[in-house]
Amino acid sequence: MPAKYDFRWDKQEHIRQCARALGEEHSLFFAQTPWTPPIANMEGTVSYYDPVRIDRVRRRLKGVDKKRYLKEIVDEILEAGMGERERVAAICGFVSGALYFNPLQQPQEDDTGALVVDPVELLELHDSRCGQGVAVTLALLDQAGIEARKRDVVHHTVCEARYDGQWHLADALMFGKDQPERDGEVVSVADLQREPYFADAFPLRCFTYKTEEVLSADGLRYLGYCFGEWGSLPYYSWYMGGEEDFPPMMPTVLPPERVARDMVRLRWSRSGRRKRGRIRYRIVAYRDRACTRPIFKKTTTTITHAWPIPELDNMYFFGVTAIDDHIEKNPDTWYPESVANFVLPSDEGQYGWYGLL
């Protein structure tokens, strides 16, 4: 029986296990009365959360001093000499890494449907939604001696921490350690409610799900709940009182086509957008895997582009981002980028798979 948090826990492995566990059901639809319509021709409904997982965690935690459990986490992640802002950032970063914003399963009681809110149980389960993430953040901030509070906003719940004499946003699941800031100072909920579109410039990677996270084992899509691929949820500004505006869906990079000895046609899937509206594509070619050294950039309304390759037999990384008119509300609006790699071999008859056709 563990008496402390397992810092060796691997979030990506947890996500892979979640995808496989869901897939075993071969189910396709969330039945949520009364919000979902009756659906015909489906194999079954998706269970919201496996009660066996919750029971297993509770048995493992029986007799554990939960305050000590949380205190040991704080002692591990905080360093001597940290200021209050650094301490809050470290806690938010830890929560972001310890909890998976699960698009399909939220820990809740099997008999009543009530959400699991015990912070130690949630840390052992590693799955949560916004209110549960706030419960964990509040518990850790309390152990660190930092004043904090829960704030209910539009269809969302956030945490605020008080330091430097002011309240500051601490929305760990959404932003991790890098909370929205202006002029070097983390903003508050009140700041964002006055200027809701400001936060749209900051990455929401928690909503950019991998394909296997929303598909069953036989490759079919889970349907019925509001969470899904990027574009299924509105911009963060909506939570703070802004217009309910949905970003364009994330495009998929398709294999490039060779059109000449030293030229490829870059290709990607067309993006869609709720309520329609204009969509443009920002395409970038990089030399490095980290995508920090761009060698070509272009914005276009098409879904292909012919590009002369600087060097044959060289690996390139190609990214595409769908952008919309939301940038008129905030020119720094963040959109996720899809990236793939390819090689154009000098021998046009070379056999093999190089990421192009």
Residue found by looking up tokens 């397992």 in the block: 6
- Picking from 181, 99, 82, the residue whose alpha carbon sits closest to that of residue 135 is 99
* Entry pTM: 0.91
Task: Take residue 312 and report the two structure tokens written for it.
Answer: 């044959």
What lies within 8 Å, CB to CB, of 77 at 6+ separation is 90, 91, 93, 94
**Digitized pLDDT (tens) for each residue of the chain, 357 residues in all:** 456 899 999 998 988 887 766 655 566 787 777 777 878 887 777 777 888 999 999 999 999 999 999 999 999 999 999 999 999 999 999 999 999 999 888 999 988 889 999 999 999 999 999 999 999 999 999 999 999 999 999 999 999 999 999 999 999 999 999 999 999 999 999 999 999 999 999 999 999 988 888 887 777 888 877 788 899 999 999 999 999 999 999 999 999 999 999 999 999 999 999 887 899 999 999 999 999 999 999 999 999 999 999 999 999 999 999 999 999 999 999 999 999 999 999 988 877 788 887
Question: What is each CA distance from 113 to 4, 32, 108, 110, 312, in whole angstroms?
Answer: 28, 11, 6, 6, 58
Q: Residue 28's pLDDT is what?
A: 75
Asked if 199 contacts 237 with a C-beta cutoff of 8 angstroms, the reply is: yes
Q: Residue 348's pLDDT is what?
A: 84
Q: How far apart are CA 73 and CA 308, in angstroms?
A: 52
Task: Take residue 68 and report the two structure tokens written for it.
Answer: 């000590």
Q: What is the DSSP letter of 266?
A: E
**Residue 108's CB: how many other CB atoms inside 10 A?**
18
Domains of the chain: 11-206 (3.10.620), 253-343 (2.60.40.10)
Element holding 86 (H helix, E strand): helix 84-98
Q: How far apart are CA 319 and CA 339, in angstroms?
A: 4
Torsion-angle region of 114 (φ positive above 0: left; ψ -120 to 50: alpha; else: beta): beta
What lies within 8 Å, CB to CB, of 72 at 6+ separation is 4, 5
Kindly give the pairing relationship between strand 100-101 and strand 127-128: parallel
